[in-house]
Amino acid sequence: MLDNLTQRLSRVVKTMRGEARLTETNTQDMLREVRMALLEADVSLPVVRDFVARVKEKALGQDVVGSLNPGQALVGVVHKELTSLMGGDLGPEASELSLASQPPAVILMAGLQGAGKTTTTGKLAKWLLDGQHVHNGRKTGKKKVLVVSADVYRPAAIEQLKTVATQVQADFLPSDTSSKPEDIARGALDHARRHHYDVLIVDTAGRLGVDEAMMREIRALYDLLHPVETLFVVDAMQGQDAVNVAKAFADALPLTGVVLTKLDGDARGGAALSVRHVTGKPLKFVGVSEKLDGLEPFHPERMAQRVLGMGDIVSLVEQAQKNIDVAEAQKLAAKLKSGNRFDLNDFREQLQQVKKMGDMGSLLEKLPAQFAQAAGQLQTDQATKQLRRQEGILNAMTPAERAKPELLKASRKRRIAAGAGVPVQDVNRLLTQFDQMQGMMKQMKKGGMSKMMRAMGG
Ligand code: GDP
């Protein structure tokens, strides 16, 4: 996700950090790089101009020039401005769903055909059913969710919602293509009230382009349902177009938020950066996979960190916590802290934990750029395979060998390679990687991590 943008911006960040003094020239150079990176990511021109102007103004301000480390201070400015551009200035609650109405809280889904409305309806239902919903920083517990489709033009769309609902075990209210969308909505609201649902999600018909009939229809649904959330779903791959469509919807409907889907594809990311600025509405979620657990709440600050190559440690930990064996992780952490040597047994344990955590791609991109690089520039689709191969190699070693990697001379390596069914080079590669990791662990212990965190805070 947003690889190019992250690569370019993290290069800028790295250069800036190294600058002991800020001059007219290196500040201009930096601003030009940032500008190019944003334009290349398909961020719309007025947004880029505005952003660069703000950073420039602050960069020349006393806070930066007068600071001990102007390069770092400047990184802080860029981070802060990027956060606020993506909606950070609205406060952390802006990206939460507000479900605090008399139940059922109605969520109305709007967007063009193919944007991902139905998929997102399923993802949201799952998210609410699983009790992931957060209000004021607290999880509010599992919700009882009903979904319904008001797309009377495409029977396939209703079927699709039924399939998705079945997969996430949400209740699905069948709709009849001969009914009017408003009658379906009225019926669903009534059903949800009588059966004490917490949330009713209404999927609607989209068209290929913005048109008046669609807007009239969804507006009528809005007036009838009084939704607490009207979410506009848009495909990130559409780049600048996504933002234009978002603006058209925001002008016609009182949207409460935007969901940006397909951010896992080769989307350049511009939409994530411009949507708030152009529509005035916060991004609430991003879709990061076709699968129904591929929905992430949007946090401007974390996203800013991610695109600046600083990693998104908080989301990483959250994702990890869902699956990880906490006791094992604590044992490992304690071992590292106590200054004990990190050996191949620990490495193996770590691999096993990583495997449990889930999709490698979405984990790797939350790591700071320099760590992801140290991890060997893994191609995400190959990462899982590589993980399995590495585990095979580690399993072919004896516990004593794992505890004392220096025992691993040529003949042992040959035996291990044969045992794991891989060439000896693979064993060597794993050992090199392990060495790098050991180096990283040492650095982290020396405070590299906390220094990095401080830098992030500006
Ligand atoms: P709708 O017409 O707006 O209801 O769109 P759909 O929900 O049918 O989605 C259109 C296509 O996009 C489907 O093939 C979905 O699997 C896919 N899709 C939706 N969200 C995402 C996402 O976040 N990531 C990826 N990779 N695919 C998605």
Average pLDDT over residues 310-324: 61
Is the distance from the beta carbon of residue 262 to the nearest atom of ligand 1 less than 6 Å? yes
Closest residue by Cα to residue 198 from 115, 133, 294? 133
What pLDDT shows up at residue 338? Answer: 63
Is the distance from the beta carbon of residue 361 to the nearest atom of ligand 1 less than 6 Å? no
What pLDDT shows up at residue 325? Answer: 61
Pocket test for ligand 1, best of 119, 201, 292 (most atoms within 8 A of CB): 119
What pLDDT shows up at residue 150? Answer: 96
Nearest CA to ligand 1 atom 16: 290
Nearest ligand 1 atom, CA 289: 24
pLDDT band, very low/low/confident/very high, at 376 (cuts 50, 70, 90): very low
Span between the terminal Cα atoms of the chain, in Å: 24
Average pLDDT over residues 339-352: 77
Average pLDDT over residues 341-349: 81
Q: Whole-prediction pTM value?
A: 0.72
- Pairing verdict, β 105-110 and 171-173: unpaired
Is the pLDDT higher at 156 or at 389? 156
Is the pLDDT higher at 322 or at 198? 198
Q: Which of 79-93, 170-184, 422-436, 444-458 has the lowest mean pLDDT?
A: 444-458
Is the pLDDT higher at 296 or at 66? 296
Q: Which of 38-52, 258-272, 353-367 has the lowest mean pLDDT?
A: 353-367
- Cβ atoms of 114 and 170 within 8 Å: the answer is no
Distance 116 CA to ligand 1 centre (A): 4
ipTM: 0.99
Is the distance from the beta carbon of residue 122 to the nearest atom of ligand 1 less than 6 Å? no
Q: What is the pLDDT of residues 68-78, one digit of tens each?
A: 667 777 778 88
Token output for 339: 């200054």
Average pLDDT over residues 82-107: 86
The CATH number of the domain covering residues in 3-85 = 1.20.120.140
- Cβ atoms of 57 and 27 within 8 Å: the answer is no
Closest residue by Cα to residue 165 from 122, 127, 133, 194? 122
Q: Which CATH superfamily is domain 93-307 in?
A: P-loop containing nucleotide triphosphate hydrolases (3.40.50.300)
Nearest CA to ligand 1 atom 13: 116
Distance 208 CA to ligand 1 centre (A): 14
Nearest ligand 1 atom, CA 111: 3
Look up the CATH architecture of domain 313-456: Orthogonal Bundle (1.10)
Within 13 Å and on the Cβ side, how many CA atoms surround 331? Answer: 11
pLDDT band, very low/low/confident/very high, at 373 (cuts 50, 70, 90): low
Nearest CA to ligand 1 atom 12: 116
Is pLDDT above 70 for 366? Answer: no
- Cβ atoms of 148 and 117 within 8 Å: the answer is no
Give the Å distances, CA to CA, from 117 to 149, 214, 266, 447.
10, 15, 20, 45
Is pLDDT above 60 for 194? Answer: yes
DSSP β-bridge partners for residue 110: 232
Is the pLDDT higher at 192 or at 316? 192
Average pLDDT over residues 126-150: 91
Is the distance from the beta carbon of residue 269 to the nearest atom of ligand 1 less than 6 Å? no
Average pLDDT over residues 323-334: 64
Find which of 138-142, 201-205, 332-336, 354-358 is predicted with most confidence, using mean pLDDT: 201-205
Distance of alpha carbon 136 from alpha carbon 215, whole angstroms: 33
Average pLDDT over residues 206-226: 90
Distance 290 CA to ligand 1 centre (A): 6
* Domain parsing of the chain, residue ranges: 3-85, 93-307, 313-456
Is pLDDT above 90 for 58? Answer: no
